[in-house]
Structure 1
Amino acid sequence: MIRELEEILGPDEESELWQHRNEILTEQDRDNIRAFRLKMLSNMPRVAFAQMRHAFRHKLEISSHWVMIHRIAILSGIEPMWFHCCPDSCMAYTGAYKDL
């Protein structure tokens, strides 16, 4: 999408491109990005993240982890890679463990 915008606007229109990108983000997107960053930087477990969402639901409308990952993938153009893990994430079933 960014490449398409650059083709439409041209390289000399960088400020317009920045403004357009900025307009794409909603306030909820911004809150979700902040919450996602907090989750990733603090290595917050999913259960704790869900409890945080529930505790602040009267003040913030933060999407679920699943919705957030997919929305950030759309916004960034980066597709997540999914790996099967044990429930506690102590083992990823990849490589030699792929068929377990």
Structure 2
Amino acid sequence: MFIFHKDTILEDLGNGVTRRILAHDGKMMAVEVNFAAGAVGPMHNHPHEQLTYVLSGEFEFTIGEETRVVSAGDTLYKRPGIMHGCGLPAARHAARYLYSHSRRFS
């Protein structure tokens, strides 16, 4: 299956965050997420594991009790049920990451 970026839908999640569901088949999905400077992705968890790959810029990511700055080329793994979230301080430029997990969200 081929999915072309031009055929995906950009969703505005509010507060400077947008996403595109790039591909999904009911068992696995890939999502591109864009953050404007100052945007925040609130802490949350879900029942599936998740991989995140930073495409551009820098994020301040929290996974569980640990907070680290990650940048383009870095990868994060989040086990099922762990609290996680990220922010993009206003002093930083816009940033983008890709994540994939084994279940489609609602």
Identify the TM-score tier after normalising by the shorter chain. under 0.3
**Greater RCO, CA 8 A, separation 6+:** 2
> Which structure's residues are more often strand, by fraction?
2
Choose 1 or 2 for highest CA Rg: 1
